[in-house]
Amino acid sequence: MKKEKEDEKTMNTVNTINELREQVRAWKAEGLTIGLCPTMGYLHEGHASLMDASVKSCDRTVASVFVNPIQFGPNEDLATYPRDFESDCKLLEAHGVDLVFHPEPAEMYADDFCTFVDIDVLSKTLCGKTRPIHFRGVCTVITKLLNTVTPDKIFFGQKDAQQLAIIRRMVRDLNFNVEVIGCPIVREADGLAKSSRNTYLNPDERRAARILSRAVRLGQSIADEGERSSEKLLAAMRERLASEPMADVEYVEVVNGENMQPVDTFREGDLVAMAVRIGGTRLIDNFTVGQPPIEFQEGQSNAD
Ligand code: AMP
């Protein structure tokens, strides 16, 4: 049973592992449960849905805001990744978060840091093909956060479906004592999955970006009609994506929902995932076979 907060205490921010541990220790001494929501900041309603889920089911919620350098490849957008900590804090406070962990990179990675958590198999497909060190960076930072906060629950979005599957496997393989909660994708009114990186899109690109959710919805309707051949499903989705001249498809694939390996014949629980570049921006979207169809307003774009 979730305990009510006695005081209307404002949200605290800490920048060091020691301060974070101290706060966690105090809460645990009171017998309080803790939810952890890791983020890279520049927060939007997608992130907020994780906070809401945590606040609802845990006594205290910790959000981390940290652009994790070791999950970015050499030619990726670490330097330009959007940041706005002040506005992040407003959103976190409004959603009832109790503590924000906002470390400097040096607090997380000493100069001689050289220990990584690397996951095999699941990290080799989908995004792992073009981002070979990405999931190693994710697993390493999440391990550090789990070791520090030792939360009861940790919250991730299904938008990053491969990441969610990887964290589930890592938690199982390494016996972390935490429940992993996946939260549904939050979308803009026109269907585009909310993402901090959407801010990179100019108005034309923003309009073109609608093609991802259009392809998702097409794929869902084909699967709902009973199609089970990955080849046929993907051919239709690729054709839909190709109808948008600005879309440069990195991949569209059907994989087993747990091990992320391609399947020829798909079934409920399998994952249909894509990465598509619009202009210079890499966007991802997905659906799990059997999930209710996504909803959005036809012809609507925030850029219109
Ligand atoms: P990020 O800040 O991009 O690393 O995302 C932090 C967490 O928020 C991850 O677990 C994401 O999957 C989740 N997230 C980001 N965008 C969305 C969205 N549109 N819907 C649901 N969850 C999201």
Give the pLDDT of the chain (304 residues) as one tens digit per residue. Answer: 666 666 556 899 999 999 999 999 999 999 999 999 999 999 999 999 999 999 999 999 999 999 999 999 999 999 999 999 999 999 999 999 999 999 999 999 999 999 999 999 999 999 999 999 999 999 999 999 999 999 999 999 999 999 999 999 999 999 999 999 999 999 999 999 999 999 999 999 999 999 999 999 999 999 999 999 999 999 999 999 999 999 999 999 999 999 999 999 999 999 999 999 999 999 999 999 999 999 998 865 544 4
Dihedral Cα 102, 107, 113, 118, nearest 10 deg:
-20
- Cβ of 49 less than 6 Å from ligand 1: yes
3-state secondary structure of 215: helix
- Segments in the chain forming alpha helices (H): 17-29, 45-57, 85-94, 105-108, 127-130, 134-149, 161-173, 203-208, 210-224, 230-242
CA of 160 to the centre of ligand 1 (A): 7
- Mutate which of 47, 72, 296 for ligand 1 pocket (most atoms within 8 A of beta carbon): 47
47 flagged as catalytic = yes
Cβ(46) – ligand 1 distance below 6 Å: yes
Token reading at 297: 């307003």
Catalytic residue among 47, 95, 102, 134: 47
Report CA(82)–ligand 1 centroid distance (Å).
14
User: Mapping DSSP to helix (H, G, I), strand (E, B) and coil, where does residue 162 land?
Assistant: helix
